[in-house]
Amino acid sequence: MLEDRERFSQTLASWFKHEGRQDLPWRTTRDPYAILVSEVMLQQTQVVTVLSRGYYTNWLEKFPDVATLAAAKEEEVLKMWEGLGYYSRARNLQKAAQAVIENHDGIFPTSPEEVRALPGVGRYTAGAVCCFALGLPEPIVDANVARVLARLMDFHQPVDSTSGIKQLWEWATECVPETDSYHYNSGLMELGQRICKPKAPDCGICPVKNWCTCDSPEKLPIKKERRKTIHRDEHSLYAVSEGKILLHREPERRRQGLWRLPERTSNEIAGLPLAAKMKYSITHYRVTLHVYEITGAKAREDEAWHSLESLASLPMPSPYRRALETVQESFLLQP
């Protein structure tokens, strides 16, 4: 364990107070709902993306509190999340808001156990909400914190293994101070984002370099072997008739409730003109999306015709939105 933990946490908290980014919108609020939204958004999306496209501020304008979110239509919720991916996060946020209304009379819970019991809220998110909104001395371990702790401790086990995760949480718990956990945890996260970066960490300007025990930080953290990338082709239709477009509503968990271009087998699209081709990634899949123009298509199960005017308001995964834009632009350019 780190020597003189108290001075370590004070040093990090003090560094954050003087050097940390205080202007981020989720750092100017102590509203637990707003903090929860930011934490869930930032789970698989970079700060710069969340900020540059206004996802966080737009979400809070549309759903300023748990009551508004709890009562919203699922399609509205998914639409506001469009482009962020991992749509179960949006659905879980709404379920969490509904649980606050139903189980806590609309008042956000204030104990770590109750926060943790909300749908979609794991140990990290509960710790972040309790620390950043409620000021509780709760530990947090996200990817940035895991990297910083692994390097500080010169930890040579996979940080994503069961024993590695357990060890990191133990260290995080031992280090979090009873007072001012807000600045300490914020400092730990920001250190990982700005100084103790995955590649080429700036050890020379690191505020806690005196505590760091590793010689080769670039080699840490160690991670389990990644799943192999699988390449696949996807054949979809661009079917427009009488001002309407045929779309498929995803019934499956990952994109459930979102609309996309209807998929067909390679045999079914044989001979159809190719209207667009593009690549996208989802988890460990690298997909080449082929879009074919077709006339006289018939709607199948989970498919429906929508007016072209309504297209912009329907929730749609980004790859299909981009594919549609490409197809429509190419039609506009045709002589």
172 binds ligand SF4 (CB under 6 A): no
CA–CA separation, 64 and 58 (whole Å)? 9
CA–CA separation, 268 and 316 (whole Å)? 24
Q: What does 21-58 look like in DSSP terms, one character per residue?
A: ---SGGGS---HHHHHHHHHHTTSS-HHHHHHTTHHHH
Q: Which of residues 98-117 bind ligand SF4 (CB under 6 A)?
A: none
206 binds ligand SF4 (CB under 6 A): yes
Helices 162-175 and 143-152 cross at an angle (nearest 10°) of 80
The DSSP letter of residue 206 is -
**Candidate segments 33-41, 138-146, 207-215, 221-229, binder of ligand SF4 by CB under 6 A:** 207-215
Instruction: Give yes or no for a contact between 211 and 8, defined as CB atoms under 8 angstroms apart.
Output: yes
217 binds ligand SF4 (CB under 6 A): yes
209 binds ligand SF4 (CB under 6 A): yes
Is residue 39 flagged as an active site residue?
yes
Q: Which of residues 141-170 bind ligand SF4 (CB under 6 A)?
A: 148, 151-152
Closest approach, Cβ 203 to ligand SF4, in A, equals 3
**Candidate segments 52-60, 132-140, 206-214, 321-329, binder of ligand SF4 by CB under 6 A:** 206-214
**Candidate segments 28-36, 76-84, 210-218, 269-277, binder of ligand SF4 by CB under 6 A:** 210-218
Closest approach, Cβ 200 to ligand SF4, in A, equals 10
Binding mask 177-196 for ligand SF4 (x = CB under 6 A): ------------------xx
Name every residue whose Cβ is closer than 8 Å to that of residue 307 and which is 6 or more positions away in sequence: 243, 244
Name every residue whose Cβ is closer than 8 Å to that of residue 170 and which is 6 or more positions away in sequence: none
**Burial (CB count <10 Å: 0-12, 13-18, 19+), residue 152:** buried
Which CB sits closer to ligand SF4, 200 or 312?
200
Sign of the alpha-carbon torsion through 152, 158, 159, 162: negative
Closest approach, Cβ 185 to ligand SF4, in A, equals 15
Which CB sits closer to ligand SF4, 42 or 149?
149
Which CB sits closer to ligand SF4, 4 or 302?
4
State the Cα angle at 87 between 239 and 188, rounded to 5°: 145
CA–CA separation, 73 and 70 (whole Å)? 9
Instruction: Give residue 85's region: left, alpha or beta (phi > 0; psi -120 to 50).
Output: left
Which CB sits closer to ligand SF4, 32 or 192?
192
Closest approach, Cβ 148 to ligand SF4, in A, equals 5
Closest approach, Cβ 47 to ligand SF4, in A, equals 19
Which CB sits closer to ligand SF4, 199 or 227?
199
Which CB sits closer to ligand SF4, 36 or 195?
195
Closest approach, Cβ 193 to ligand SF4, in A, equals 11
From 39, 138, 190, 250, active-site residue: 39
Instruction: Give yes or no for a contact between 292 and 235, defined as CB atoms under 8 angstroms apart.
Output: yes
Closest approach, Cβ 147 to ligand SF4, in A, equals 8
Q: Give the SS3 label for residue 77.
A: helix
Q: Of 131, 111, 122, 126, nearest to 9 (Cα)? A: 131
Catalytic site positions:
39
Q: Which residues bind ligand SF4 (CB under 6 A)?
A: 148, 151-152, 195-196, 201, 203, 206, 208-209, 212, 214, 217
